[in-house]
Structure 1
Amino acid sequence: MIETENLGKVFDTFTAVQNLTLNVPAGQLLALLGPNGAGKTTTVRMIGAILKPTTGYARVNGYDVVTQADGVRRSIGMLTEQPGLYTRMSGLEYLEFYGRLYGIPDKETRAKGKAMFERFYMAGAEDKRLGTYSKGMRQKVGLIRSMLHNPAVLLLDEPTSAMDPHSAKLVRDAILELRNDRRTVILCTHNLAEAELLADKIAIIKQGQIVAQGTFTELKQQLLGRPQLEVRVDKPLNGQVKELDHLVTVESVANDTIRYRTDNPDLTNPQLVRCLHKLGLGVISLQPVSQSLEQVYLRVIEEME
């Protein structure tokens, strides 16, 4: 698991992260979202025992990131947005190099590496120099390296940012497998659809502070309020909508469609349909309006301006 409390980092006079508190239980994936420069990468580097916090504390898999940094590093796999690769090495030589650091026999590393190269549609490239790889291929090699020693915790910073849609899906599938295998994952991403698909919980960081966190459902309830629904009728609407004010909060009317909110859809919707019928309007459809993570994210960011 990952636990931080009041974690902070100051560079000279610049406060990059402050009062950051997170709790990611074992086997969960937390998506860390935020604008460029919000403090995501600094946070991940502190959790990964690369940067020493200025304030607060963090524990990873039971190890303190300051006093037990070696234990943290043994427990994690990390992928930075621009993975540092030794460009004169081949893909397999690079993996063997890191495998030896973790005490993994070369034979085991080569077998695992070849299997992962094939899985990520890079078969045949494992013996070529890393300097010849595209940016997307380099990211995939960085991800393979981060998983090489079967770590309990993975810290992934923009793992699909340079990938084509097919490669990105392969990587997302691999991340889902990690989560299903009870690994603990922090995923930094600007891809909100990816975060919505993969994450158990979401934390939004701005100007170095967590400004919202919870499950997607919890964030929708907190930030977007009551559920929004849409009813479409068989005739254009005129003044009939005023007759609905005692039942629902009407937010918009467009030709034959009403968007509204209500505290108790199960109770209110049947009453709404009956009221519309009394007004001579037949209901063609009635359904919830889809609310996306993008709406939640933008609401948080715009409210903090």
Structure 2
Amino acid sequence: MSTLRKAAMYPLPTSFPTVDQVGVIERASRFTKRSIKKEAKLHGLSMALNMIDLTTLEGMDTEGKVKQLCYKAQHLHDAAEDIPTVAAVCVYPNFVGLAKKELKGSKIKVASVATAFPSGNSSLELKLDDVRMAVDQGADEVDMVISRGRFHQGEYRYVYDEIAAVKEACDTARLKVILETGELGTFDKVRMASDIAIAAGGDFIKTSTGKIKPAATMPVTLVMLEAIRDHYFRTGEMVGMKPAGGISNSKLALHYLIMVKETLGNEWLSNEWFRFGASSLANDVLMQIMKQRSGAYQSADYFSID
């Protein structure tokens, strides 16, 4: 079982490792060459399904859409009792109370974005109000966004202090820190932001909001996994990882799991430490699970769109 980290657990880093761009891309590509068959593939697919955060974060979200998402989360395993369900449902703060009500009695967690998602452009006071609203409504997890503008200006102390303040406001909720890697520009900056987020107390580091392209990529995720690995080697403390956006098929999800296993180890292969922010992935994983069991592909018509 995971243990909540504390805010500002470690000092703001004063130096950051450089990243070999060519090396990272080459290492990440190797994980896509692996082939998983039969029982191992079925196990990996079930694991991937149980790591998904089903998400709706649109301006046109309604109570009806949130209820539908919660229903889907609870009934994914209707096709077979031993198929797991997803890890969490992720919504805006104003829908957290509704999601908690709809998911009552299940093991599915409720996550909420906060801190002026997706831009992060607001005052710290308003961001903390956003977080407290989500937590007061019952959020189990909070997904914050860092202030990328401040980061690009070299205001690393501000970014660190802001993450620490949000972590304090989360109380018992776990904090996922979204770096928005598509706006960071280089692998070196992704590594810097990862190290800052980990030092400030983030329980997870997360690639993207899903609103900016590119979102999650395997090389970017590998840079973040290596930051987690290096922190673990120094301290013995585990930190979670969540790639989000752009992971829409089972084959790619399995490649990510191979990368996690070979970079961090088996301990990270659970939804306590690894998540996919990819709602569309759930249907494809379900289809692949049923194909592995029956030997025949299921029609997409048999699975709900939302």
TM score, norm. by length of structure 1: 0.36
More helix by share: 2
More strand by share: 1
**Which structure exhibits the higher relative contact order, with contacts defined as CA atoms closer than 8 Å and separated by 6 or more residues?**
2
| TM-score, normalised via structure 2 length | 0.36
Q: Larger Rg: 1 or 2? A: 1
